[in-house]
Amino acid sequence: MSGVQKLTVGADEADQRLDRWFRRRFPQVGQGRIEKLCRKGEIRVDGGRVKASSRVTPGQVIRVPPLPDSPAPAPLSGPKISDSDAEMIRAAVLYRDDALIVLNKPAGLPSQGGTGQIRHVDGLAEALRFGLDEKPRLVHRLDKDTSGILLLARSARMASVLTTAFRARETRKIYWAAVAGVPQPAMGTIRFALLKAPGHGPHGAGEKMRCIHPARVNDTPGAKRATTDYAVLA
């Protein structure tokens, strides 16, 4: 491509990193090249210098320098999804339309990959394209051992809308749990803190969340305050 282009970020491209926006528009340009162009000031947003990790918003104008016309590199082939896994993840779909997919995540299946995790919802989402060019995107997570509802966005625009809603706490999450004994009182609020304990198995398998006293949060790296409103159903 010869010459400088100035492209406007569309409404369906909101709230994503600049490097991701760039790779979607110009797949022939690698991550290293994008970062170098940003450092040299050849890629600019609304006339200002930016980092590859900067987030773009609709209406911003991105300066694109002359780029090579070489074809996009062949995509890396990930692990093949077995027919049984594809059937399993499709059977877990509770609802879908053009914007999103509602998935009933089974217990024991991680939301995303990690150390020693090669089978997870994010990877299996390749089987949930249902005719679209791209796989649906995770917009929130559930712990590996937790079963429940996961929302997946089928477009960049819907991913931005849902991510913003979760970040602004405009969503309401309800969990049902079986417990030993009956909490007293039957309705109340638990204010405590959580800390991820390292796993004991190979590659860190067996990670668990453990409770710590709220008074220790400020002195405990990685600890987060947690507030739970509960009600006994039966």
Average pLDDT, the chain: 85
* Catalytic residue set: 143
The conformational region for residue 206 under phi > 0 = left, psi -120 to 50 = alpha, else beta, is: left
- Asked whether residue 54 falls in the same domain as residue 105, the answer is no
Is the alpha carbon torsion for 144, 145, 146, 148 positive or negative?
positive
Domain check: are 220 and 146 in the same one? no
DSSP state of 114: B
What confidence category does residue 150 fall into, taking pLDDT thresholds of 50, 70 and 90?
very high
What range defines the domain where residue 59 resides?
A: 5-64
Q: What tens digit of pLDDT does each residue of 97-115 get?
A: 999 999 999 999 999 876 6
β-sheet bridge partners, residue 140: none
- Please give the structure tokens belonging to residue 165: 């809603």
pLDDT class of 90 with cuts at 50, 70, 90:
very high
Report yes or no on whether pTM surpasses 0.85: no
The residue with tokens 């896994």 is 85
- Whichever domain contains 45, its CATH number is 3.10.290.10
Any idea what the CATH number is for the domain that residue 150 is in? Answer: 3.30.2350.10
Pair 162, 96 in one domain = yes
Structure confidence at residue 99 (pLDDT): 92
Say whether both 157 and 197 belong to one domain: no
Task: Give tens-digit pLDDT for 152-211.
Answer: 999 888 888 898 888 888 888 888 888 899 989 999 999 999 987 766 655 555 567 788
Spell out the residues 6+ positions from residue 118 whose beta carbon is closer than 8 angstroms to its own: 79
In a domain, 98, yes or no: yes
- Here the tokens at position 15 are 């709230």
Question: pLDDT-derived band of residue 79, with 50, 70 and 90 as boundaries?
Answer: low
In a domain, 75, yes or no: no
Angle at the Cα of 158 from the Cα atoms of 81 and 126, rounded to 5 degrees: 5
Alpha carbons 169 and 77: distance in angstroms, whole number:
36
